[in-house]
Amino acid sequence: MRTVIFRTIAPYLSALMVLFSVFVLLRGHNEPGGGFIGGLIAASAFAIYGIACGVAAVRRAIIFHPMSLSAFGLFIAGLSGLPSLFMRQPFMTSQWWYIHIFGVEIPLSTPLIFDVGVYFVVVGAISSIALALEERESD
């Protein structure tokens, strides 16, 4: 598997896939996409990087332990349900904020925060499983 071509291309490919995963995550509210799919794309990017350059390199690159990433996602996904309670609405009712930057209206919302949370949960969980399997292969 570890040919020169693959090892040379893998970092760029992974970087591109992570970028694409963020794009998929953000377009997810009204079009196909979203946190789950974005997370899967990012996790497969890490898996490819791991196959090419070794699991240790991936662990260095993502800095945090995958499970911590997933816990962070769970945390903000849980938090995203709370603001509506303070508006005296049921849990998880979506709240919207419209922010104007350079004349462009950017709709921010709690579903987006929730989706980002899902993204992190999926990235963390799937890449920790993938890395665990890749690690054992080389034993």
Partner 1 sequence: MEAGLSVLIGLFFAVSVYLLMSRQIVRIMLGIAILGNAVNLLIFTAGRLTREVPPVIPEGAVTPLEQTANPLPQALILTAIVISFSFFAFLLVLAFRSYQELGTDDANEMRVAEPAGEPAPPQGY
Partner 2 sequence: MAVLSESVDISNAMIVAPVSPADWLIVAPTVLTILGGAICLMMRKDTAAQPRIGVLFLALLVFATGGLFLHVLDKGVITMVMGRWLPPFGIAFTADLTGAALAFVASLVAFSAGVYGILDVDGSGRRYGFYPFLLLLMTGVCGAFLTGDIFNLYVWFEVLLIASFGLLVLGNEQAQLDGAVKYALLNIIATTLFLLATGLLYGLYGTLNMADIAIKTRQFGIDGPIATIAVLYFLAFAMKAAAFPVNFWLPASYHTPRIVVSAVFAGLLTKVGVYALLRIFVVLMPEARFQLEDLIALVAIATMLTGVFGALAQTDVRRLFGYLVISGIGSMLAGLAIGTTPALAGTIFYAIHSIVVMTALYMAAGVMSAMGGSYSLRELGGLYAASPAFAAVFLVLAFAVAGLPPFSGFWPKVILVEAAITTGHVWIAASILATGLLTSIAVGRVWVFAFWRGGPEGTPDGTAGAGALVAAPGLARPVVWLPLGVLLALVVFMGVVPEPMFQVTGRGATSMVDPIGYVRSVFGDSL
Answer for which of 79, 106, 129, 133 binds partner 2 (CB under 8 A) is: 79
Please pick, from the candidates 67, 106, 129, 132, the single residue that binds partner 2 as defined by CB under 8 A.
67
Give the chain's length: 139
Decide whether 23 or 96 has the Cβ nearer to partner 2: 96
Told to check if 106 binds partner 1 by CB under 8 A, we report no
- Of 2, 8, 19, 78, the residue at the interface with partner 2 (CB under 8 A) is 78
- The values of phi and psi at residue 108, to 5°, are -110, 145
Q: Which does 106 bind (CB under 5 to 8 A by kind): partner 1, partner 2, none?
A: none
How many other C-beta atoms lie within 10 A of the C-beta of residue 73? Answer: 24
By C-alpha distance, which of 75, 64, 59, 63 is closest to 116? Answer: 75
Answer yes or no: are the C-beta atoms of 129 and 58 closer than 8 Å: no
Q: Which of residues 71-90 bind partner 1 (CB under 8 A)?
A: none
Alpha carbon distance 70, 99 (integer Å) = 28
Query: In whole angstroms, what is the distance from residue 131 CA to residue 112 CA?
Result: 28
Binding mask 33-52 for partner 1 (x = CB under 8 A): ---x----------------
Amino acid of residue 72: F
**What are φ and ψ of residue 56, in 5° steps?**
-60, -40
Partner from partner 2, partner 1, none contacting 136, C-beta within 5 to 8 A by type: partner 1
What residue 129 binds from partner 2, partner 1, none (CB within 5 to 8 A, per partner kind)? partner 1
Interface residues with partner 2 (CB under 8 A) are 30, 65, 67-68, 70-72, 74-75, 78-79, 81-82, 84-85, 88-94, 96, 107, 109
